[in-house]
């Protein structure tokens, strides 16, 4: 069976934690679709185009990874793409409780399984909101993100 997973998020911006989950997901699935959710009510630091490009550039040499944008429910996107799995990363117990509720809801509404990967200990403290705060305050965010973000954010 061909195993296709959707890794949804806002990726504002992609962090080394996200990068680690995607890289490890590639070893588990035949295809990993990074799906950038569009939420009109959210204020983003980076444009949708920039966020998409950061991820595409970070995985330019990985044919099993593609990047798309979407609106609506993740399970609807999975059905449309024939993806059997939702991939999620967990940093801490609070992430688990939040993600568990979403996974149970998605399972109740569909046959799509959620697969959780624990973030690597070396990246478990990194979140996009922390990266944005470091950038806003002029700190060295480059140790928190893939090279593709470093280049773009310096412009």
**Cα within 13 Å of Cα(148), Cβ side:** 19
Query: pLDDT value at position 116?
Result: 98
pLDDT digits (tens, 9 = 90+) for 122-143: 999 999 999 999 999 999 999 9
User: Is position 42 annotated in a ligand binding site?
Assistant: yes
The domains located in the chain, with CATH, are 4-137 (3.40.50.620)
Q: Is 10 annotated as a binding residue?
A: yes
> What residues contact 125, with CB distance under 8 A and at least 6 apart?
91
pLDDT tens per residue, range 35-73: 999 988 889 999 999 999 999 999 999 999 999 999 999
Strands, DSSP E only, in 64-138? 65-70, 85-90, 113-118
Residue 42: predicted pLDDT: 87
Any known ligand binding at 107? Answer: no
Which positions are annotated as active-site residues? Answer: 18, 42, 91, 128
Give residue 155's pLDDT band: very low, low, confident or very high (50, 70, 90).
very low
């Amino acid at each position: 069976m061909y195993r296709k997973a959707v890794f949804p998020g806002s990726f504002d911006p992609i962090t080394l934690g996200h990068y680690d989950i995607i890289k490890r997901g590639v070893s588990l699935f035949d295809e990993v679709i990074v799906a950038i959710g569009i939420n009109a009510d959210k204020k983003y630091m980076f444009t949708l185009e920039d966020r998409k490009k950061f991820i595409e550039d970070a995985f330019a040499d990985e044919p099993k990874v593609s990047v798309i944008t979407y609106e609506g429910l993740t399970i609807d996107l999975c059905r449309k793409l024939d993806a059997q799995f939702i991939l999620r990363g967990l940093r801490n117990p609070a992430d688990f409780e939040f993600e568990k509720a979403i996974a149970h809801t998605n399972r109740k509404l569909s046959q799509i399984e959620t697969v959780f990967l624990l973030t690597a200990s070396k990246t478990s403290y990194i979140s996009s909101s922390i990266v944005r705060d470091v950038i806003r305050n002029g700190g060295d965010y480059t140790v928190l993100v893939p090279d593709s973000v470093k280049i773009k954010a310096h412009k």
